[in-house]
Amino acid sequence: MTSPDPTRIDGGADLPGDVAVSDADPRPVVDIVATKGWSGVNFSDLWAFRELLYILVWRDLKVRYRQTLLGVVWVMGQPLMTMLIFTLVFNRIARIDSGELPYPIFVLSGLLPWGFFATGVQGAANSLVGNANLITKVYFPRVLIPASSVVAGLIDFLVAGLILVGMLAWNRITPSPMLFFLPVVVLLAVVLTLGTGLWLAALNVKYRDVRIMIPFILQIGMFATPVVYPASLLPESLRTVVLFNPMTGIVEGFRWCLFGGELPMLALLSTLIFTVVLFIGGLLFFRRMERTFVDVI
């Protein structure tokens, strides 16, 4: 509620949005309004609240493993059990050949980046609804909530990666010199996951059907990604279709960094384009929808 004839000034990092000030009532009134273009993304505001991101990530990790007997062991146990099941079904029974690379290592190197993407997207999509009490009580950049889910998933991904390191050592497989490019592929996966999560998080606040659809879509997406099979086994026509799956470039690039071989240039280029579009579009769409979160959450 503002006083008559207020003077409008732009807010800074401490007072986001527009602030109304008048002589009759010197107290500032903060209005969070939707703006157009990159002006709607207040990066100084995000930097000012950076410590909140650490707190949210730590809280997510503690809540996830609270009152569990094995704790962080579950992070490594899930991809390990999935790897064993897929090895039995697709390698022993379906006879899918992974070439010179042992199939368990092949499938695990695909499960790790895919598992990070699936966990991060699902966590980010449900993060706003799960933090409704926090959103309705105090202002802070709402984008930090889905971002914290993605960062927490990244930590789980790094911990689960110790299994792959152990399997490489056990099988005496030396990573390729392209291993130095692995942080670039991981960063690309983080940006892709966050961009997708921002779209779904904003939509899930208004349309709760989204959280029901996400697990189903992710299940289909995993088999549309060369996780359990090499892309080289697909017919030429299907290889072109698979390139439109942005996770194809992430999985293929992850394996290329570890084991070398032919650079999946087309897959990585397609992933880069999809990632940039999804992230920029998701960030702007999230900011435009942010003004309605308190009303409909």
238: tokens are 């299907």
Residues 129-175: pLDDT tens digits?
A: 988 888 888 888 889 999 999 999 999 999 999 999 999 999 999 99
Quote the mean pLDDT of the chain.
85
Q: So what's the pLDDT on residue 296?
A: 77
Domain boundaries defined on the chain: 1-33, 43-284
Pairing mode of beta strands 18-21, 29-31: antiparallel
**Alpha carbon distance 57, 84 (integer Å):** 30
% of the chain at pLDDT higher than 70: 84
Ramachandran class of 260: left when φ > 0, alpha when ψ lies in -120 to 50, beta otherwise? left
Residues 180-211: pLDDT tens digits?
A: 999 999 999 999 999 999 999 999 998 888 98
Q: So what's the pLDDT on residue 279?
A: 95
**Residue showing tokens 């503002």:** 2
Residues 77-103: pLDDT tens digits?
A: 889 999 999 999 999 999 998 888 999
161: tokens are 């990666």
User: Helix H segments across 101-233?
Assistant: 103-130, 132-135, 144-170, 182-206, 209-223
Residue 21 has pLDDT above 60, yes or no: no
pTM: 0.84
Mean pLDDT over residues 236-252, rounded? 89
Residue 241 has pLDDT above 60, yes or no: yes
Task: Report which DSSP code applies to 16.
Answer: -
Residues 216-230: pLDDT tens digits?
A: 999 999 999 999 999
DSSP string, 40-98: G--HHHHHHTHHHHHHHHHHHHHHHHTT-SSTTHHHHHHHHHHHHHHIIIIIIIS----
In this structure, are residues 143 and 45 in contact, taking their beta carbons and an 8 Å threshold?
A: no
